[in-house]
């Protein structure tokens, strides 16, 4: 249990609009890690509050949630300003309704910065955006009336507050902890409603001299699942809001949102090497081993019932076999989802890995899973193929273009090249080990 006694009090503020499945995932993930958290949800989804669907009603009924039902479509700034005024804690933790808390989220690290450094008004964390990578959306901003709004990469030295790294920034994504008085004194400009409000707010804080620091030691996941009509509201009158922003600040452009990432910082994955890749030729017993590992508490995310293979990884591997190229962004995304969904060790298995593993090396490098190479007498493997009418019609079994001998040699070669922890186990050894125990012993 985290000791918050020496840290400032906090409340989490979420502006919500029609993404209730996302919102439920966000709230559930918050309470998983911070069961005592106070959450303020400001929602403006419907003209008639009675139109709230059951899932929204269920969120509203959670004891930790203070639900503010606002006028329909009043916009992000008005909703956030209302929620901040309703809050009573020392610090407001700003959070979107499609974020997912994991063991890396660590609100306490944001609060530590504010507790240790009273001159800092905002402590911003990192967003693992759409599961691709933990990237910084942080920069230094400069502008002059009549000129360009420009950004520069962060260039200040890293500071340390009680073990938490942080450095100066002018801009951050919507995952940050701010002193309540900062957000009361510098509210969001409600003229922008849904577009340009975020950039404008950080420019207002910079103009007011508010010190903002960024830390990579608080990472929240992002898993967007928007309804079809959400985009219509989110981008409404975008050109008009952009024009109003340019006029307000007297600049000739707005910043794009592809900010410079922190190239020298990897995502913080607790206990790298804790997860498992079950590896081997098909029909070698990899399904049995995967189920055994699952029984120990490892999560087989998105796995089918029969083979315990992650369906998305299987599709990626099949595409890789067909195209001789892995869709690396999608592979990273699925592994990040596995990490977020399980928040614990996961187990992954697909016999196609003996053909595609070299394409996955960079993707796996963040997680460094233990490889469990399952082997089995090849005559038994061949018999298993024949029993299932697989492997071709001839006497020699062919699996994905290789004989069993060649497939095994390829798998052994991949095992030898695996750069992280690995172990080889024969299926017969597993059976022998189980037989040593008296199943009826009390």
Q: What residues form DSSP beta bridges with 219?
A: 126
In this predicted structure, the answer to whether residue 270 has a pLDDT above a threshold of 80 is no
* Token pair recorded at residue 82: 């209302």
Kindly state the percentage of the chain with pLDDT values over 90: 55
Average pLDDT on 203-224 reads: 91
In this predicted structure, the answer to whether residue 350 has a pLDDT above a threshold of 90 is yes
In this predicted structure, the answer to whether residue 45 has a pLDDT above a threshold of 70 is yes
Domain with CATH 3.90.550.10 in the chain: 10-249
What pLDDT is stored for residue 60 in this prediction? 94
Q: Supply the CATH classification number for the domain 10-249.
A: 3.90.550.10
What pLDDT is stored for residue 343 in this prediction? 64
Domain with CATH 3.40.50.300 in the chain: 276-435
Q: In which residue are the tokens 């990897």 written?
A: 266
What pLDDT is stored for residue 163 in this prediction? 84
* Token pair recorded at residue 318: 């099949």
The better pLDDT of the pair 215, 390 is held by 215
In this predicted structure, the answer to whether residue 227 has a pLDDT above a threshold of 60 is no
In this predicted structure, the answer to whether residue 216 has a pLDDT above a threshold of 50 is yes
CATH architecture label of 276-435: 3-Layer(aba) Sandwich (3.40)
Please answer whether residues 170 and 206 qualify as being in contact, where contact means their C-beta atoms are separated by less than 8 angstroms: yes
C-alpha 45 chain-centroid distance: 25
DSSP string, 148-179: --EEE---SPPEEETTEEEEEES---S-EEEE
Q: State the DSSP H helix or E strand holding residue 355, giving kind and residue range, or none if neither.
A: helix 353-364
Q: In angstroms, what is the C-alpha Rg of the chain? A: 26
Tell me how far apart the alpha carbons of residues 30 and 40 are, in angstroms, rounded to a whole number.
Answer: 12
In this predicted structure, the answer to whether residue 200 has a pLDDT above a threshold of 90 is yes
Instruction: Read off the pLDDT of residues 410-428 as tens digits, 9 standing for 90 and up.
Output: 999 999 999 999 999 998 8
List own/partner pairs for 25-30 with CB under 8 A and 24 or more apart. Answer: 25/100, 25/223, 25/225, 26/95, 26/96, 26/97, 26/98, 26/99, 26/100, 26/101, 27/59, 27/62, 27/64, 27/65, 29/99, 29/100, 29/101, 29/102, 29/221, 30/95, 30/101
Of 374, 380, 371, the C-alpha closest to 289 is 374
């Amino acid at each position: 249990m985290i000791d918050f006694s020496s840290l400032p009090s906090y409340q989490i503020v979420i502006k919500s609009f029609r993404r209730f499945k996302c919102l439920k995932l966000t709230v559930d993930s918050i309470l998983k890690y911070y069961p005592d958290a106070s959450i303020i949800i400001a929602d403006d989804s419907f003209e008639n509050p009675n139109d709230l669907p059951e899932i929204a009603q269920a969120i509203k009924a959670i004891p930790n949630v203070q639900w503010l039902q606002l006028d329909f479509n009043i916009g992000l700034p008005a909703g956030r300003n209302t929620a901040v005024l309703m809050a009573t804690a020392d610090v407001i933790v700003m959070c979107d309704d499609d974020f997912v808390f994991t063991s890396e989220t660590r609100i306490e690290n944001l609060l530590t910065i504010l507790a240790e450094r009273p001159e800092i008004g905002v402590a911003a964390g990192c967003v693992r955006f759409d599961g691709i990578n933990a990237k910084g959306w942080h920069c230094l901003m400069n502008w002059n009336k009549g000129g360009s709004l420009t950004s520069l990469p962060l260039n200040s030295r890293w500071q340390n507050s009680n073990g938490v790294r942080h450095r100066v920034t002018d801009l951050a994504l919507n995952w940050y902890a701010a002193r309540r008085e900062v957000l009361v004194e510098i509210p969001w400009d409600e003229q922008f409603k849904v577009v340009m409000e975020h950039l404008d707010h950080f420019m207002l804080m910079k103009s007011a001299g508010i010190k903002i620091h960024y830390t990579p030691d608080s990472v929240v996941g992002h898993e967007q699942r928007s309804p079809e009509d959400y985009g219509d509201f989110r981008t409404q009158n975008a050109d008009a809001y952009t024009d109003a922003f340019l006029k307000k600040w007297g600049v000739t452009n707005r910043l794009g949102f592809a900010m410079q990432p922190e190239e020298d910082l990897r995502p913080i994955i607790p206990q790298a090497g804790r997860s498992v890749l079950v590896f081997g030729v098909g029909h070698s017993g990899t399904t049995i081993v995967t189920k055994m590992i699952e029984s120990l508490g490892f999560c087989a995310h998105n796995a089918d019932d029969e083979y315990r293979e992650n369906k998305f990884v299987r599709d990626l591997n099949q595409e890789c076999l067909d195209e001789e190229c892995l869709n690396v962004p999608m592979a990273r995304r699925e592994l990040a989802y596995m990490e977020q969904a399980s928040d614990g060790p996961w187990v992954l298995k697909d016999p196609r890995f003996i053909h595609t593993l070299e394409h996955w090396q960079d993707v796996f490098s963040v997680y460094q899973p233990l490889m469990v190479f399952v082997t089995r007498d090849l005559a038994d493997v061949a018999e298993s193929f024949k029993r299932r009418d697989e492997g071709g019609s001839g006497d020699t079994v062919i699996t994905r273009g290789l004989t069993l001998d060649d497939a095994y040699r390829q798998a052994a070669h991949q095992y030898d090249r695996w750069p992280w922890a690995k172990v080889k186990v024969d299926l017969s050894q597993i059976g022998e080990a189980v037989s040593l125990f008296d199943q009826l012993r009390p």
